[in-house]
Amino acid sequence: MHSHVVTIMAVNPANPPRPALQATEENSFAYITAKKRWPEILEKVIDDIYQTINSLDSSEVDKIQEGKRIVDFLTELKYQIQQKKPLMPIEVSEAPDISTYNYILNTYFKDKNWYSATWLFTECYLYRRIHLSLAKTKHWRSYDPYFRQKEDAFRASFNAIIEIAKRIGELISAPKMNKDGRDTETDRIIFHELAQISLWGNATDLSMLTNLSLEEVKKLQSTGAKQLEESEKNILANDLSKVWEWILKCRNARIDIILDNAGFELYGDLVFADWLIQSGYAREIHLHAKPIPWFVSDTTRVDFDWLFQTLQSDDFFSSAPELEKSSLKKLANRWQSYIANSQWFFTHDYFWTSPYSYWHLAEQAPDLYADLCKSQLVIFKGDLNYRKLVYDCKWETTVPFKEAIGPLASAKGAPSVLTLRTGKSDLFVGLEEGIEERLNSVEKGWMYSGKYAVVQFSESTE
């Protein structure tokens, strides 16, 4: 009798469609995150703020004092997590989303602590508290405590950045036509390759780029599917071919990308967006970022602008040869022209930093949802977007993707949705029977190692 009652209760933050992932389970990644990763992330933020305080002129007394108060607050926050203290309401601020957090906290997680509330809520709540500790000050309100990390990671990706810039230049300038119009077979291979760069977003792995040259693309046409399959073998559920068929059908489409990480991953996303415009498959691309620094590496407006400035500047990659610098400038200039000509749009919405699953997108952010429904394809990048799409709960790994994303697949008029996600949490859906068992037997922690990915597609209901 009781189980029947649960199933008909409305899905809500405390009652996802399956039991929620939470840190009370000792062998789970949520537990590892709460116990180890959150305190480490807070320590890094504290170190970063200290580094900035130490670089200030001693005359900047107010800023130094504020900085120390932020550090005290974050130190206390770390203590509260480690002691499993109850979650407290967030002090009211002018930010539009704080009331949402407090509503969810009071309605669904009253008297819960950092471990016993759902992982999705507590993790979003943590990053929201970190940001607010800065935002409510006078001198640190626009400070991004993760910026140094983002910058260092981007600098370390230099070889891949240059390599891709050269190759995308080649691919864009090469003749694309055969006697029947566009050479869609070449396009298909390029699409697969660029989608994978966007998927893995991993600059350190230059082996990912082996197929992205005109020569290799030509070769792939003759050896065909074999090699593409090899490069895609760690994609455990792979709808790239279906997505390609959809893009061919749409042509001249509006495509939206719900961005994930800044730096090299954003660069890979923009290279993909560049090719989609140049090849005529997309007429406009809408890029959706976070309104505030989020989950350490997520893209904000500042990161987006910084990427453009960096590619155009002579100083950041100062030791690079002139030719390489000029290929980066050319790229950035072309991208800027897309923005100027209203082919690329950059936007952010506080819904992306709310603790809600995307099952609640239509009711919580009706304007954003209505806008996304005008798109021919909405691409969700990365692990957190995946967690929110499927409600961050313990689905059986064989449950179809369409079932797990709920209203985003089933509601009338819902847009076509694609997820490009590398697994960094213990949550997968849409896998074939037997995959989970096989990987469990050979690789502990395979779900969150970042080594496996899914590319899953839900075609619009219209």
Tokens of 57: 């002129």
Under the banding of pLDDT at 50, 70 and 90, the label for residue 167 is: confident
Under the banding of pLDDT at 50, 70 and 90, the label for residue 129 is: very high
* Largest separation between any pair of C-alpha atoms in the chain: 73
Is the alpha carbon torsion for 134, 34, 266, 310 positive or negative?
positive
156 vs 142, more confident: 142
pLDDT, residue 7, reads 46
Residues 363, 364, 370, CA angle at the centre, nearest 5°?
65
Is the alpha carbon torsion for 339, 345, 350, 352 positive or negative?
negative
For 356-415, the pLDDT digits (tens) are 999 999 999 999 999 999 999 999 999 999 999 999 999 999 999 999 999 999 999 999
Tokens of 364: 């919580």
pLDDT, residue 338, reads 99
Under the banding of pLDDT at 50, 70 and 90, the label for residue 229 is: confident
User: Do residues 275 and 194 lie in contact, with contact meaning Cβ atoms separated by under 8 Å?
Assistant: yes
pTM of the model: 0.94
Residue 383, φ and ψ in degrees, nearest 5: -75, -45
Contacts of 216 (CB under 8 A, 6+ apart): 210
pLDDT, residue 225, reads 61
Tokens of 35: 């116990």
* Whole-number Å distance between alpha carbons of 82 and 115: 10
Statement: residue 6 has pLDDT above 60? no
User: Do residues 380 and 420 lie in contact, with contact meaning Cβ atoms separated by under 8 Å?
Assistant: yes
Under the banding of pLDDT at 50, 70 and 90, the label for residue 2 is: very low
For 272-329, the pLDDT digits (tens) are 999 999 999 999 999 999 999 999 999 999 999 999 999 999 999 999 999 999 999 9
Under the banding of pLDDT at 50, 70 and 90, the label for residue 174 is: confident
Calculate Rg over the CA atoms of the chain. 23
The runs of H, that is alpha helices, within 174-239 are 184-200, 214-223, 225-231
Under the banding of pLDDT at 50, 70 and 90, the label for residue 222 is: low
Statement: residue 420 has pLDDT above 90? yes
Domains of the chain, start order: 29-143 (1.20.930.60), 150-458 (3.40.50.10880)
User: Do residues 285 and 343 lie in contact, with contact meaning Cβ atoms separated by under 8 Å?
Assistant: yes
* Whole-number Å distance between alpha carbons of 26 and 22: 9
Give the mean model confidence (pLDDT) for residues 133-138. Answer: 97
pLDDT, residue 175, reads 66
The runs of H, that is alpha helices, within 284-381 are 301-312, 322-340, 361-364, 366-372
For 196-220, the pLDDT digits (tens) are 999 988 655 555 555 667 777 666 6
Under the banding of pLDDT at 50, 70 and 90, the label for residue 126 is: very high
Give the mean model confidence (pLDDT) for residues 414-423. Answer: 97
Tokens of 236: 């455990």
Tokens of 258: 């719900």
For 328-340, the pLDDT digits (tens) are 999 999 999 999 9
Statement: residue 428 has pLDDT above 60? yes
* Whole-number Å distance between alpha carbons of 17 and 19: 7
User: Do residues 221 and 186 lie in contact, with contact meaning Cβ atoms separated by under 8 Å?
Assistant: yes
The helix-helix angle for 301-312 and 322-340 (nearest 10°) equals: 140
CB hemisphere CA count around 206 (13 angstroms) = 9
454 vs 93, more confident: 454
* Whole-number Å distance between alpha carbons of 414 and 375: 10
pLDDT, residue 8, reads 46
pLDDT, residue 163, reads 87
pLDDT, residue 106, reads 98
Beta partners for residue 453, in sequence order: 235, 422
From the list 257, 256, 252, 255, the residue with the least C-alpha distance to 283 is: 252
Helix H or strand E segment including 182: strand 181-182
Give the mean model confidence (pLDDT) for residues 118-123. Answer: 99
Residue 71 CB neighbours (<10 A): 17
pLDDT, residue 3, reads 44
- 318 burial level (CB within 10 Å; 0-12, 13-18, 19+): exposed
pLDDT, residue 191, reads 95
In three-state secondary structure terms, 455 is: strand
Give the mean model confidence (pLDDT) for residues 42-49. Answer: 98
The helix-helix angle for 147-156 and 301-312 (nearest 10°) equals: 40
pLDDT, residue 35, reads 98
From the list 357, 354, 391, 352, the residue with the least C-alpha distance to 98 is: 354
Parallel, antiparallel, or unpaired: how do β-strands 417-422 and 253-258 relate? unpaired
